[in-house]
């Protein structure tokens, strides 16, 4: 039995973690952490947990939690874990962090984009970027997992094979991204109000979105040289889902079969990455509620570009599902255990 604790259990990602872990008979949640709702019944905050979860919310005392559990999930704002993490905690339990605190290896870049001081940069080098399709072997040995961001996960998996195989010029990549409103979190914000979001679509964080350096860093590893991208996210009026449309110039002429072979090379044996049939475009409705990422591409010979596309659920593969996937790897379990979620439709 894996004993788990969640700090930030009442946010959208934390709530999704609870939903996924409660379905398992090999995991026990011992700690529903939430600084905003201490001593309140968890089911009073998420009514879907009525008569399922009887526990009340606890505080964010990560040191006390480390004494009780095998793994801690921190679904918290940027800077939270970095301000509290100590060697004593990591010597007692594994930590899977859903924030950006340990994703970016260059602390100066982190501080520049997130506008906060990193309190524990000594742990950045040790942290493993928790994208199983790329870092599976490193994850197995880790104490600290930096769970990837939602936009970076979908963007990277959509583009990675072509960068890795040198089929596109990585200096030409443009990413157009769209996300449902749950990506903005559960906090009260004017921009997330129904009247602001409904019947509307808008770009935000144009040229300055904080996921940009994370995507660039991971693509740089794949390319073997620094990569700079243009990344623009958009907010769309739906609860869940991310859709990526990325553009890159072909390094040389390539046929459909050659490009498809690159995707198959890296994803043929990946349970959660589905390379779609020719001319089938990824859609968020076909991955909703699941840990799948659907990817595909289209060659545009007129412009000598390839259009790379991906769709996924931002709360599952983009957050909680990927965190559980990482937990499975850490504890030597089948990677898809508890995650064989058939996409919901309608």
Q: Catalytic: 150?
A: yes
Distance (Å, whole) CA 68 – CA 112: 36
Q: Sheet holding 27-33: strands in order across?
A: 27-33, 2-7, 71-74, 94-97, 144-146, 128-129
Do 7 and 68 contact (CB within 8 A), yes or no? no
Distance (Å, whole) CA 43 – CA 52: 8
Q: What DSSP character marks residue 253?
A: -
Do 287 and 344 contact (CB within 8 A), yes or no? no
Q: Sheet holding 202-203: strands in order across?
A: 202-203, 230-235, 174-179, 242-249, 305-312, 293-300, 273-275
φ/ψ of residue 31, rounded to 5 = -145, 115
Cis peptide leading into residue 346 (ω within 30°): yes
Quote the tokens at residue 85: 């993490």
Tell me the helix, strand and coil percentages in the chain, rounded to 5: 35, 20, 45
Q: Of the listed 57, 150, 154, 195, which one is catalytic?
A: 150
Distance (Å, whole) CA 74 – CA 5: 9
Distance (Å, whole) CA 238 – CA 179: 8
Just list the catalytic residues.
150
């Amino acid at each position: 039995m894996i004993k788990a604790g969640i700090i930030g259990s009442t946010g959208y990602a934390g709530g999704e973690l609870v939903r996924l872990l409660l379905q398992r008979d090999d995991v026990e949640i011992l700690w529903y952490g939430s600084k905003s709702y201490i001593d309140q019944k968890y089911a009073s905050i998420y009514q879907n947990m009525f008569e399922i979860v009887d526990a009340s919310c606890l505080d964010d005392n990560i040191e006390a939690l480390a004494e009780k559990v095998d793994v801690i999930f921190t679904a918290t704002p940027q800077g939270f874990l970095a301000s509290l993490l100590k060697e004593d905690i990591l010597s007692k339990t594994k930590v899977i962090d859903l924030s950006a605190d340990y994703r970016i290896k260059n602390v100066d870049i982190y501080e520049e984009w997130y506008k906060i001081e990193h309190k524990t940069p000594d742990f950045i080098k040790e942290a493993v970027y928790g994208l199983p399709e790329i870092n599976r072997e490193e994850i197995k040995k880790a104490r600290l997992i930096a769970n990837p961001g939602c936009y970076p996960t979908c963007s990277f998996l959509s583009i990675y094979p072509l960068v890795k195989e040198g089929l596109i010029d990585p200096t030409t990549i443009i990413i157009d991204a769209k996300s449902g409103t749950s990506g903005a979190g559960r906090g009260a914000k004017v921009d997330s109000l129904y009247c602001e979001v409904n019947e509307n679509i808008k770009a935000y964080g144009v040229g300055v979105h904080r996921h940009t350096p994370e995507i660039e860093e991971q693509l740089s590893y794949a390319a073997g040289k620094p990569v700079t991208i243009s990344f623009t996210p958009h907010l769309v009026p739906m609860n869940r889902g991310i859709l990526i449309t990325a553009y890159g110039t072909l390094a040389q002429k390539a046929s459909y079969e050659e490009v498809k072979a690159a995707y198959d090379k890296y994803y043929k044996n990946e349970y959660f990455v589905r390379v779609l049939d020719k001319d089938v475009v990824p859609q968020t409705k076909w991955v909703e509620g699941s840990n799948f990422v659907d990817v595909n591409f289209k060659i545009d010979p007129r412009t000598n570009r390839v259009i790379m596309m991906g769709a996924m659920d931002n709360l599952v593969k983009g957050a909680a599902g990927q965190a559980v996937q990482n937990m499975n790897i850490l504890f030597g379990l089948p990677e898809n255990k508890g995650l064989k979620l058939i996409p919901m439709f309608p």
